[in-house]
Amino acid sequence: MNFIALKMLVGNRAKYLGIIIGLTFASLLITQQAAIFLGLMTRTYSFLADTSLPDIWVVDPKIQFVDDLKPLKETESLRVRSVEGVAWAVPMYKGLLKARLPNGTFQTCNFIGLDDETLIGGPPEILQGRLADLRRSDAVIVDIVGATGKLATVLPDGRRIPLRIGDTMELNDHRAVVVGICRVQRTFQSQPVVYTTFSRATIFAPRERKLMSFILVKAKPGQDFHELCQRIRQITGLAAYTREEFITLTVQYYMKYTGIPINFGITVVLGFIVGIAIAGQTFHNFTLDNLRYFGTLKAMGASDGMLLRMIMLQATMVGCIGYGLGVGAASALGFMSGSTELSFQLPWQLLLFSAIAVTLICVASAALSMLKVIRLEPAIVFKS
Amino acid sequence: MKNKNPVAVRCKGVTKTYGTGDTQVHALSGVNLEVYAGEHMMLVGPSGSGKTTLISIIAGVLDRDGGECVVFDHDFAHMSRYEKTRYRGQNIGFVFQLFNLIPSLSAAENVAVPLLINGVRRREAIDRAREILGRVGLGNRTFSLPEELSGGQQQRVAIARAIVHNPRLIVCDEPTSALDHETGHKVMELLCQVAVGTDRVLIVVTHDARIFEFASRIAKMDDGHIISVTNTPCYVSDEKKE
Ligand SMILES: Nc1ncnc2c1ncn2[C@@H]1O[C@H](COP(=O)(O)OP(=O)(O)OP(=O)(O)O)[C@@H](O)[C@H]1O
Ligand SMILES: [Mg+2]
């Protein structure tokens, strides 16, 4: 009976395409929007993801996410260093600084100062130059997207000349020399990222009483991170998070205090509703079109179970095709947007999520049809 | 005249009422009818007299309200929904006024449906269907879709579908009324040729006086009753005068 079910489905070309289009559209909308949402969320903590060496981040107890900067006194790093179980603890500066472009305009940059001695917390990948070159005078390392984009020199004819090693730039009225180009994950604000040493950062940065943003901590081998965090909190009164905890804190902040999840959530729900409306409605109409034949099959001895299996098979078929096309289209869009500002993350969990959504749509659609067919009286076959 | 064959279908005081209250319709009000194995019984009567209702009950697609109705020693009233369905699948063939062939299936696939329902494998079912299509003169149209066939050809496919699984009872509701007279006549000829058998019953509901000659007996219905059961010759002449 299976091939009969499939032939009935494919034979009704208009409805068949209608159902598939509905499901494709729904799974595309759900997958693509959720992927962009995930991409955006990853960007909120990309700095943490990039800075993988430290085990624990010590910060002001009031900060709510990684870019919520509340500087600490520099002496705090000494106190943290003395906590039992700490292998090392180094300061890090993070702030926003204005770079003056050759054409006279300003560009805000993420400015990061690394511990002078160890240079811990540097960019994950250096494309040109060496991290140690930061020890030269006025040295900075600039990320590639910033160097070729927002920090590039724009000629009168519109051509862009990227920032290169040896170029100088003006950061908050101080001269800086580019000694390296690095690659970092894109950040939420998509600003250029500039690395330098901690002491130089404190010179470049606007004068403030406290200038240390984070204390990066490495645990001694065999130390339990959570216990160590607990100890640091007790002894210093500061907050201490493992990297994962800090990431969670950051994501939770964006989830709670920005409208981003709601916005994307609405689109995903809309995709779901549109899917049910188009695919469900068309599937139901398809079943109504065929009610006469379902009745005939019933009269000729097809059991309810048999007919339900037929409908289930039909729903599974359109579900798989629609899901495949939708997810395929979403991936294609994601692939094409790979080199643009758009964020896009498509992990297997999201594929599973949209598979479940499409399954739910199909189940809802098929359920309506099944009900119709179960209630169908075989006596209708003699009605003309 | 008493038939020597055993009784295959026995209805006694069968009643059926549609609806309730003001809109109540007594479609059958005590129908008595016996059909013998090997017979070709025709049911005739004015529109609304209850013919379709009666064969629906005999074929087990509709539940009666009262009375008795036994088909080959089986009473649908004593069967579960599933048992009824299975019994229909194995023992009853259907022919409809509008053929009811599934449009996206080829002639052979349509004919194979009752076999597939009974669990026959697809290849074997299609082979048997082709064979039967040959017997109804459509051996060369097995791959055609219903829309590519004429009305008469479609009804022949439907007849093939009704007999492919060797049912003991075949019910036809107005099998010729969607066809012109000549085609209808040919279809009836074919039906009698392939569907009538010694231990099989064929019941045909019709308005069409020109096919009465094919029947072994004719039951005339009016207003939910069988008012007469006659052998063909006299009945035909009666009916033609009306
Ligand atoms: N599902 C139904 N609901 C309500 N009334 C019905 C239903 N089916 C049939 N009837 C009524 O029952 C009576 C008998 O109907 P039936 O279809 O058996 O007549 P028939 O002899 O087959 O008529 P025709 O020759 O027009 O097909 C009619 O009055 C009809 O209106
Ligand atoms: Mg009728």
The answer to whether residue B73 sits within a structural domain is no
Closest Cα to atom 18 of ligand 1: B50
Asked if B96 lies within 8 A of A306 by C-beta distance, the reply is no
Closest Cα to atom 11 of ligand 1: B27
Closest Cα to atom 17 of ligand 1: B52
Q: For B195, how many CA atoms within 13 A lie in the half-sphere containing its CB?
A: 31
Min Cα distance B1 → chain A (Å) is 32
Q: Which residues approach ligand 1 with their CB closer than 6 A?
A: B 18-19, 25, 27, 45, 47-53
The answer to whether residue B64 sits within a structural domain is no
Average pLDDT for chain B: 89
- Closest approach atom of ligand 1 to CA B224: 14
Task: Summarize pLDDT for A107-146 with one digit per residue, the tens.
Answer: 999 999 999 999 998 999 999 999 999 999 899 999 999 9
Predicted local confidence at residue B241, as pLDDT: 38
The answer to whether residue A172 sits within a structural domain is yes
- Closest approach atom of ligand 1 to CA B50: 18
Task: Summarize pLDDT for B190-226 with one digit per residue, the tens.
Answer: 888 888 888 899 999 998 888 888 898 999 999 999 9
Range B63-80 average pLDDT: 93
The answer to whether residue A341 sits within a structural domain is yes
| Nearest ligand, measured from the Cα of A380 | 1
Per cent of chain A over pLDDT 70 is 99
The answer to whether residue A213 sits within a structural domain is yes
Predicted local confidence at residue B57, as pLDDT: 95
Predicted local confidence at residue B58, as pLDDT: 95
The answer to whether residue B132 sits within a structural domain is yes
Predicted local confidence at residue A51, as pLDDT: 87
Residues spanned by the domain of A139: 73-237
Predicted local confidence at residue B240, as pLDDT: 40
- The structural domain count of chain A equals 2
Predicted local confidence at residue A205, as pLDDT: 84
- Which candidate in A290, A296, A298, A300 is best for mutational testing of the B interface (most B CBs within 10 A)? A300
Place of tokens 């000694």: A179
Asked if A301 lies within 8 A of B62 by C-beta distance, the reply is no
The answer to whether residue A247 sits within a structural domain is no
Left, alpha or beta for A96 (phi > 0: left; psi -120 to 50: alpha)? beta
pLDDT at A338 over 80: no
B166 touches chain A (CB under 8 A): no
CATH code (residue B142): 3.40.50.300
| Residues of B whose CB is below 8 A from A299 | 59, 61, 88, 94
pLDDT at B238 over 70: no
Range A97-112 average pLDDT: 87
**Residues A216 and A263 both lie in one domain:** no
- Which candidate in B62, B90, B117, B163 is best for mutational testing of the A interface (most A CBs within 10 A)? B117
Which residue would you say has higher pLDDT here, A342 or B100? B100
The answer to whether residue B26 sits within a structural domain is no
| Residues of B whose CB is below 8 A from A377 | 61-62
Q: Which of A10, A293, A377 sits opposite B100 (nearest CB)?
A: A293
**Residues A31 and A111 both lie in one domain:** no
Q: Which of these, A25, A20, A35, A40, lies nearest to A352 by C-alpha position?
A: A35
A379 touches chain B (CB under 8 A): yes
The answer to whether residue A133 sits within a structural domain is yes
The answer to whether residue A64 sits within a structural domain is no
CA separation for the pair A115, B110 (Å, rounded): 81
**Residues A107 and A141 both lie in one domain:** yes
> Contact, B39 vs B5, CB < 8 A?
yes
Min Cα distance A30 → chain B (Å) is 34
Task: Summarize pLDDT for A267-326 with one digit per residue, the tens.
Answer: 889 988 888 888 888 999 999 989 999 999 999 999 999 999 999 999 999 999 999 999
Range B230-236 average pLDDT: 58
The answer to whether residue A296 sits within a structural domain is yes
Min Cα distance B117 → chain A (Å) is 6
**Residues A372 and A298 both lie in one domain:** yes
The answer to whether residue B118 sits within a structural domain is yes
**Residues A106 and A216 both lie in one domain:** yes
Report long-range pairs for A237-242 (Cβ below 8 Å, ≥24 apart). Answer: A237/A61, A238/A58, A238/A59, A238/A60, A238/A61, A238/A72, A238/A76, A238/A80, A239/A58, A239/A59, A239/A60, A239/A61, A239/A63, A240/A56, A240/A57, A240/A58, A240/A59, A241/A56, A241/A57, A241/A59, A242/A55, A242/A56, A242/A57
Q: Which of B49, B208, B226 is the pocket-test mutation for ligand 1 (most atoms within 8 Å of CB)?
A: B49
**Residues A152 and A203 both lie in one domain:** yes
**Residues A163 and A24 both lie in one domain:** no
Name the residue in chain A with its Cα closest to that of B164.
A300
Min Cα distance B33 → chain A (Å) is 20
Task: Summarize pLDDT for A23-51 with one digit per residue, the tens.
Answer: 999 999 999 889 988 888 888 888 888 88
Task: Summarize pLDDT for B143-199 with one digit per residue, the tens.
Answer: 999 999 999 899 999 999 999 999 999 999 998 888 888 888 888 888 888 888 888
**Residues A285 and A377 both lie in one domain:** yes
The answer to whether residue B67 sits within a structural domain is no
**Residues A89 and A185 both lie in one domain:** yes
The answer to whether residue A146 sits within a structural domain is yes
Asked if A293 lies within 8 A of B102 by C-beta distance, the reply is yes
The two tokens of residue A167 are 């170029």
Last residue of a domain, one of A171, A204, A237: A237
The answer to whether residue B28 sits within a structural domain is no
Q: Which of A169-173, A206-210, B71-75 is the least confident region?
A: A206-210
Predicted local confidence at residue B3, as pLDDT: 63
Residues spanned by the domain of B229: 39-59+89-241
**Residues A192 and A310 both lie in one domain:** no
The two tokens of residue A87 are 């292998």
List A residues 131-150 in contact with B (Cβ-Cβ < 8 A): none
Range B110-139 average pLDDT: 94
**Residues A26 and A162 both lie in one domain:** no
Which residue would you say has higher pLDDT here, B60 or A275? B60
**Residues A92 and A36 both lie in one domain:** no
CA separation for the pair A108, A279 (Å, rounded): 48
Residue B63: count of CB within 10 angstroms of its CB: 14
Closest Cα to atom 4 of ligand 1: B18
The answer to whether residue B124 sits within a structural domain is yes
- The structural domain count of chain B equals 1
